[in-house]
Amino acid sequence: MKLLKRTVLLLIVIVTMIGSQLATATNHIIAAENDQVKDLILYQNVPDALTEVKDKKVTLEALNIYEDGHFTKTSEDLTWRSTNKNVATVNEDGDVTFTGQNGRSFIYVSNGEFEDRIAVDFKVDKSKKKGKPTSSGKIVKQKGEQYEIIPNAIDGMTMKEKVGQMLMPDFRKWDGENVTEMLPEIEQLVKEYHLGGVILFRENVVTTEQTAKLVADYQEASEKYGLLMTIDQEGGIVTRLQSGTDMPGNMALGATRSTDLANNVGRAIGEELKALGINMNLAPVLDVNNNPDNPVIGVRSFGESPELVAELGIAYTNGLQSTGVAATAKHFPGHGDTAVDSHLGLPEVPYDLERLREVELYPFQKAMEAGIDAIMTAHVTFPKIDDTKVISKKDGTLISLPATLSHKVLTGLMREDMGFEGVIITDALNMGAIQDHFGSVDAAIRAVKAGTDVVLMPVGLEEVANGLYEAIETGEISEERIEASVERILTLKIKRGIIKEENPTPISEVVANAKDVVGSEEHKQIEKEAAEQSITLVKNDDVLPLDLTDDQKVVVVGTSYETSLHAAITKFHENTELIRASGPLSEEQLAIVQQADTVIVGTYTYNVSGRSVDSSQMQMVNQVIENAEAPVIGVGIRNPYDIMAYPTIDSYIAQYGFRKASFDATAATIFGANAPSGLLPVTIPTVDGDVLYEFGYGLTY
């Protein structure tokens, strides 16, 4: 009996070992098949690929197509040729140069086994009687099933690979330390969950060289498809790059009323991100900030006018996307008219669809029509659109469904009603508005069912991924629903050239180029122009510009960013003293103020309580106004609404941000080196709700 048991056990072990070896061999065969190149095509022939001819030149790129449908950029062991060198030539790197002669040429690429071609045309128009003849070169895509690479890629994906394309976590910290270089644990997660993207934060992007290396390492970790490397580089108060140009924010641009400046700012931001390898920007904010009490949007908005927000937002978007970086309008359907920070709570916008179309939805609709790549959702409830009630996990009460999790908002309103075909991305799912009321897995499942394509910053990557897998396996989410999102994501990646590279540019070359672009003098000049043109002189009782002798004394008083204001003023007038105060001044400090020839007070607020007359900061300002013998100039460092708390001040400037360029522009304005031209992008009310200063108001010299 014992012998029989041993024999059976031995047979089981042998069969298991053989089965394991067969499985391993099968896996190797499948992997080998998947790694087998089955075709070579030109990227520019893919329907969604964008290509622009500049200065009679264009660079063509080749893609290897693999058996499982995935595709990669390749550049080695290729031969290129032109069939008509009189029209266009091509070098060994795929760089096409038009000669200027009318006609057509076909450009061929071959790897020795497979070959593809594309047509290039050049035309000189001499029909105009006046002026020089115009000329243009263009790419003429070839047609064929081989160029429909997205459906083929999706067909070859596993379910987990499809879900992975929809996941965009952050790796801000690891074991309590800022992530500034690739870690083996993170690389493993990128591969294990087949991630489609990663979002970076200020902690991750310290220097130009370090950032470029980190981004390149992320792309190398991606197995088959390039990563959406994303960041919130709005400009102004939301600026992540530590080595980049600190562009003024949206409300500053709103004050300039300049679409040219908005376009230049968007382009400069895009050029810096592109140089670093960051290919998607979660900007611009298209919220209409018509609520002075808004604690989270404020100066991140272009202003209170839907038309102004749309006009400048589209200009910014066009500048950004012209560099090849994807833009993202946020926060749909609109976070501007709220008094609750969705990072902390769940705000509500109570308006019906008619009002929303006129105000909140207007900039988003215009951005969609202008071709914006992506739209971010808002963790805000819109009960007049979706009155669905759910039980909050926080306290068991019934709450309205936030837009991020609402099928009626994302699919019904955005997709079907407004016609948006691009990528929908959630706002961060770790924010209080979601985490307080929904579990991590529940929130992700609801967001996907609602119609989102990208799940941003899920809490617990493993739990959320497994939750989505299970929801698909049980039929709660159909695989067709997942595939629709993957198709949109891959379409965006193709459109912006975000494709895994077999032969990436050497990191030394990437870093060298990034150092030339990031923080360049050209971009600093755009920053300076935007800051100077944004400065808004709201009040001036014959005080500005200052014309002081060297022995006349200026005193700068402040509680936040006071050293920055003092440093900027000192450049124009050395005889300047700084008083730091967190509240009402001491007798000694008041004595200094009373002896001053001019007093400049900087105030910094970001919420209602901060600008309350009863706040310690505003008590200090009004104390200075009452006790100073000299004129008092107020500077609203961030919010233009600060003057509500001290309307009797002699002069008031709104600068909309706390970056160096804005302080320099304010100082230049105070001393007459910059004539203020900014116009209020918002209405400033009185504390009683009347109008103190109207939208569009602004003084100059």
Q: Which of 549, 478, 530 is nearest to 251 (CA)?
A: 530
Give 199-219 as a DSSP string: EE-GGG--SHHHHHHHHHHHH
Selected catalytic residue, list 343, 436, 442, 597: 343
Measured between alpha carbons, how far is residue 128 from residues 56, 98, 134, 453 in Å?
20, 22, 8, 48
d(CA 499, CA 75): 13
Spell out the residues 6+ positions from residue 450 whose beta carbon is closer than 8 angstroms to its own.
Answer: 404, 405, 406, 407, 409, 410, 411
Q: β-pairing, 598-603 with 632-636?
A: parallel
d(CA 664, CA 566): 10
d(CA 336, CA 433): 16
What are the strands, taking DSSP E only, across 324-473? Answer: 326-332, 374-377, 389-391, 398-400, 423-425, 455-456
Selected catalytic residue, list 386, 427, 453, 642: 427
Angle at 219 between CA 213 and CA 225, to 5 degrees: 170
Structure tokens belonging to residue 9 = 């056990």
d(CA 288, CA 310): 9
Burial of 273-301, coded b for 16+ CB within 10 Å and e otherwise, reads: bbbbbbbbbbbbbbbbbbbbebbbbbbbb
**Can you tell me which residue has the tokens 């290129």?**
80
Judge whether 343 counts as a catalytic residue: yes
Structure tokens belonging to residue 321 = 């996307």
SS3 assignment for 633-696: EEEECCCHHHHHHCCCCCEEEECCCCCHHHHHHHHHHHCCCCCCCCCCCCCEECCCCCEEECCC
Residues with a catalytic annotation lie at 343, 427
